Amino acid sequence: MPYRTVDRRRTLAAAVLGRDTEAPRLTADDGMTLDAVSGEILDVSPHLIIVEDDDGEERRMVIAPWATAWHGASVAPADLPVGARVVIRALRSGTVVDRIWANITRMTGVILGITGKRDLTIELDCGPHRGRRTVVVPYRTSGRIRVRHPQLEPGYLFDAIGLMDAGTALAHIPATSQPPYRAKAVPPPPPAFRGVQSKISGAAAWGDFTEPGVTYPMLESADADCEDTGQSCAGLPYLAVGSMLFVRNVCDGRANALPIIGCGCIAGRFCDRCLECGTSPRGRLVELSATSYVELGGDLIKGCFNARVGLG
Amino acid sequence: MLSTIAAAALPILIAMLLLGGVAKLATADGDAEIGGLGRLGPAVLAPQRFRKAAMIGCALGELGLIAVLLLLPDQAVARWMPVAFFSVATYVLWDLRRRRPDVGCGCFGEVSAAPIGMRSIGRAAVLAAMAVIVAIESPGYAALSSWSWMTTAWLAGGIALVLLLSTEIEETVSRLRHRAPCEQRAIPAKRALSRLQSSSAWRSHVPMLVSDEPADMWRELCWRFFVFPARDGADVVFAVYLSGRRPAVKSAIVNADGRPITPLQESMHVSA
């Protein structure tokens, strides 16, 4: 079903139901977001990094003395290769670098096939909207991945964080403990005689997409153009592309209003918990873009944060 | 005769106030923060930070009225307080229906999430009428001592009338049947479209539509939205509530800039 713009949906819904067009403004009490910059390194020195961001603008940023970087492992920021794609957590209105993740990628999907003996090559189905991708689990990290993914077999879910190396995705860290069920056997949500909760708690993950916003699993299949949607064990209500969600990082106390930009068809199949600060209730509520995740105080090499979502 | 009706109306008023007060207190906590999924009652008209206090205040007021009805039947000012409460409630629901058609009345907390219709307003008016009779007769505790079969018959009639006007019954039944509230039930778009096409809102807007096929449709919580292209580049947007036998259908005409257009007959005031 085509739609002209997602913003138009909010305007029309507000007009017919008498709502405010603008989402309520967040205050400092709600938790201020950090700044995140995504782009490509043009030059880097121990104290300064020059990045071309996703809008094509050149940004010169001071590297804080305590800043660290990740490029497969912890490295000094000055050791990052020129040309690497980076996501930067920035302070002071986006001028001071606090943390850098370089060439980081997230591999979330359903295992379709596995080949190889030392280095494993895994074919993943990343959902109807993202297609298939091939990832490599190098021998040196396969032990770590297998501990958290005991069922490396077709039909089971896979979720790892890794590095893009010359076009190849190399899995380094497991992003979660693999759910014990097959991807098609997602547990049903608990019966909700009481009604939809005002706020829903669970886990928020990040995904490999750049557009700011979130993907959300509970879309009607007629609206999402796919049959795999509408699966979640968290008791989420049905929403649409264009709805605004308030996402709160419970661990860090930061909140933001983010638009739903797509179907989180695969995210909804993860009925896992996040253990970032305490144990979250079951279910992956949303998948944020890398920059939205960093803005809310998330660490990209940890796969999730405990989250609470409500409607904007 | 009037004293019999008053004796029958008193337990109904007390039961409604008790249920309403307790249910509101149970719901108030969840809707306090920005982004709460529940949108209930007149509290939505208050700024976000006062909503919880408004709901708790209303609940405590309802529980306080029970004490007034039972303990102070002889105080003239006190016994007219329930009348004032239900009369104001009737007006507020009427006004809320016009200003925020998407919110539920919240009369019994989150079970009353269905959009306010004539039944909810009618129920508040009936309760206001019962409160008037109780205020005139002021039975208090004494009503129990002079109980008769006629009082029981009036009580049964009153309960039946209140149940008939309660939309919460339908929602409770469908929750027990589907084990999920409306927001979590998959409901085919075709069903919502057929409900739309049998509504009066559709019949009044259909002459201005360019096409019978929706240009866009989407679902948010318990509402499904349909957008149809209209003449002069405007859009007609319909919102169909997805629960209940005769669900609410709201409509608006929005121009290309996103501003709602008021139809001519609605923009003209009736003159003497």
Q: What pLDDT shows up at residue A82?
A: 92
Q: Domain for residue A41, yes or no? A: yes
Judge if A206 and A307 occupy the same domain.
yes
**CA of B103 vs chain A CAs: smallest distance (Å):** 9
Boundary (domain end) residue, out of B131, B154, B182 = B182
Judge if B129 and B167 occupy the same domain.
yes
Q: Which of A11, A17, A223 sits opposite B102 (nearest CB)?
A: A17
Chain A's closest residue to B172, CA to CA, is A193
Number of domains in chain A: 3
Q: Are the beta carbons of B254 and A15 separated by less than 8 Å? A: yes
Q: Are the beta carbons of A199 and B37 separated by less than 8 Å? A: yes
Q: Are the beta carbons of A16 and B113 separated by less than 8 Å? A: no
Interstrand relation of A200-207 and A304-311 (parallel, antiparallel or unpaired): antiparallel
Judge if A81 and A152 occupy the same domain.
no
Q: Would an 8 Å CB–CB cutoff place B260 in contact with chain A?
A: yes
Per-residue pLDDT of chain A (312 residues; tens, 9 = 90+): 444 567 788 888 888 887 766 666 666 666 778 889 999 999 999 999 999 998 889 999 999 999 999 998 999 999 999 999 999 999 888 889 999 999 999 999 999 999 998 999 999 998 888 889 999 999 999 999 999 999 899 999 999 999 998 889 999 999 989 998 988 888 888 776 666 666 888 999 999 888 888 999 988 887 777 777 888 888 888 998 888 888 889 888 888 888 898 888 899 899 888 888 888 888 899 999 999 999 998 999 998 999 988 875
Spatial distance between the Cα atoms of A231 and A307, rounded to a whole number of angstroms: 19
Chain A's closest residue to B173, CA to CA, is A193
Q: Domain for residue B149, yes or no? A: yes
Q: Domain for residue A237, yes or no? A: yes
| Chain A partners within 8 Å of B254 (Cβ) | 11-12, 15
Q: Domain for residue B28, yes or no? A: yes
DSSP B256: T
Per-residue pLDDT of chain B (272 residues; tens, 9 = 90+): 788 888 888 889 999 999 999 888 887 765 444 445 556 677 777 776 777 788 888 889 999 988 888 877 778 788 889 899 999 999 999 888 888 877 888 888 777 878 888 888 999 999 999 999 988 887 666 666 777 888 889 999 999 999 999 888 877 777 777 667 788 888 888 888 888 888 888 998 888 888 888 888 899 888 999 999 888 788 899 999 988 778 888 888 888 777 777 765 555 555 44
Return the structure tokens found at B235.
């859009």
Judge if B42 and B118 occupy the same domain.
yes
Q: Domain for residue A286, yes or no? A: yes
Boundary (domain end) residue, out of A131, A159, A174 = A174
- Residue in B213, B220, B233, B143 with CA at minimum distance from that of residue B187: B220
Q: Are the beta carbons of B184 and A235 separated by less than 8 Å? A: yes
Q: Which of B99, B184, B216 sits opposite A3 (nearest CB)?
A: B216
Judge if A98 and A112 occupy the same domain.
no
Written in H, E and C, the secondary structure of chain A is: CCCCCHHHHHHHHHHHHCCCCCCCCCCHHHCCCCEEEEEEEEEECCCEEEEEECCCCEEEEEEEEEEEEECCCEECHHHCCCCCEEEEEEECCCCEEEEEEECEEEEEEEEEEEECCCCEEEEEECCCCCCEEEEEECHHHHHHHHHHCCCCCCCCEEEEEEEEECCEEEEEEECCCCCCCCCCCCCCCCCCCCCCCCCEEEEEEEECCCCCCEEECCCCHHHHCCCCCCCCCCCCCCCCCCCEEEEEECCCCEEEEEEEEEECCCHHHCCCCCCCCCCCCCCEEEEEEHHHHHHCCCCCCCCEEEEEEEEC
Judge if B197 and B259 occupy the same domain.
yes
Residues 139-168 of B with CB under 8 A from A: none
Q: Domain for residue B59, yes or no? A: yes
Most B CBs within 10 Å, among A25, A196, A216, to test the B interface: A196
Q: Are the beta carbons of B189 and A8 separated by less than 8 Å? A: no
Do residues A265 and A217 touch, judged by C-beta distance below 8 A? yes
Spatial distance between the Cα atoms of B17 and B262, rounded to a whole number of angstroms: 39
Helix-helix angle B51-71:B2-28, to 10 degrees: 150
Q: What pLDDT shows up at residue B272?
A: 43
Interstrand relation of A157-165 and A254-263 (parallel, antiparallel or unpaired): unpaired
Q: Are the beta carbons of A17 and B239 separated by less than 8 Å? A: yes
Judge if A67 and A118 occupy the same domain.
no
Q: What pLDDT shows up at residue A288?
A: 94
Residue B141 CB-density burial (10 A; 0-12 exposed, 13-18 middle, 19+ buried): exposed
Number of domains in chain B: 2
The amino acid sitting at B31 is D
Judge if B134 and B203 occupy the same domain.
no
Judge if B143 and B29 occupy the same domain.
yes
Spatial distance between the Cα atoms of A75 and A53, rounded to a whole number of angstroms: 22
Instruction: Kindly state the helix (H) or strand (E) to which residue B178 belongs, with its residue range.
Output: helix B168-178
Spatial distance between the Cα atoms of B214 and B188, rounded to a whole number of angstroms: 15
**CA of B226 vs chain A CAs: smallest distance (Å):** 10
Chain B's closest residue to A233, CA to CA, is B184
Do residues A248 and A31 touch, judged by C-beta distance below 8 A? yes
Could you report the per-residue pLDDT of B151-204, keeping only the tens digit for each? 889 999 999 999 999 888 877 777 777 667 788 888 888 888 888 888 888 998
Domain that holds residue A63: 33-102
Number of CB pairs, chain A paired with chain B, less than 8 A apart: 153
Q: Which of B33, B102, B176 sits opposite A18 (nearest CB)?
A: B102
Return the structure tokens found at A82.
């020129």
Write the CB contacts of A56 (distance below 8 Å, at least 6 apart in sequence): none
Judge if B154 and B54 occupy the same domain.
yes
Q: Which of A18, A196, A240 sits opposite B37 (nearest CB)?
A: A196
Do residues B39 and B27 touch, judged by C-beta distance below 8 A? no
Q: What pLDDT shows up at residue A136?
A: 94
**CA of A78 vs chain B CAs: smallest distance (Å):** 42
Q: Would an 8 Å CB–CB cutoff place B229 in contact with chain A?
A: no
- The CA radius of gyration of chain B, in Å to the nearest whole number, is 22
| Chain A partners within 8 Å of B181 (Cβ) | 192, 195-196, 237
| Chain B partners within 8 Å of A219 (Cβ) | 219
Q: Residue B188, Cβ neighbours under 10 Å: how many?
A: 13
Return the CATH number at A58: 2.40.50.140
Spatial distance between the Cα atoms of A275 and A285, rounded to a whole number of angstroms: 15
Spatial distance between the Cα atoms of B262 and B76, rounded to a whole number of angstroms: 46
Domain that holds residue B247: 187-267
Length of chain B: 272
DSSP B224: E
Judge if B116 and B208 occupy the same domain.
no
Judge if B195 and B160 occupy the same domain.
no
